[in-house]
Amino acid sequence: ELKVEQNPLFLSMQEGKNYTIYCNYSTTSDRLYWYRQDPGKSLESLFVLLSNGAVKQEGRLMASLDTKARLSTLHITAAVHDLSATYFCAVDLTGANNLFFGTGTRLTVIP
């Protein structure tokens, strides 16, 4: 059974600090997605990682993928309040964009 685990589940951090969210998955895949969800809202695509060693950056967020370790990370640099949201990673097993989502990490950035 596929498992996609994120940690931490809850993260409270001060503005200006750095932190990393981890996403571990239990089976082979080289396609990993990161999404953001604000309370009561839809899911917004952040990154699509397609190969081992892939790294993508957008603003204060940087995502990476290590397929051998079955690990993806989402690094937050100099957090700001606007980054407060729930972040999900998702694994595509079949190549048909059939995503299995992680548990989510609820991030709160404190001024």
Partner 1 sequence: DAGVIQSPRHEVTEMGQEVTLRCKPISGHDYLFWYRQTMMRGLELLIYFNNNVPIDDSGMPEDRFSAKMPNASFSTLKIQPSEPRDSAVYFCASSPGGRTGNTIYFGEGSWLTVV
CA 41 distance to own-chain centroid:
17
- Choices 15-23, 33-41, 60-68, 77-85; region in contact with partner 1 by CB under 8 A: 33-41
Give the C-alpha separation, 98 to 39, whole Å.
24
Is residue 103 part of the contact set for partner 1 (CB under 8 A)?
A: yes
Residues between 49 and 68 that touch partner 1 (CB under 8 A): 50
Asked whether position 19 contacts partner 1 by CB under 8 A, the answer is: no
Which residues bind to partner 1, rule: CB under 8 A? 31, 33, 35, 41-45, 48, 50, 88, 90, 92, 95-104
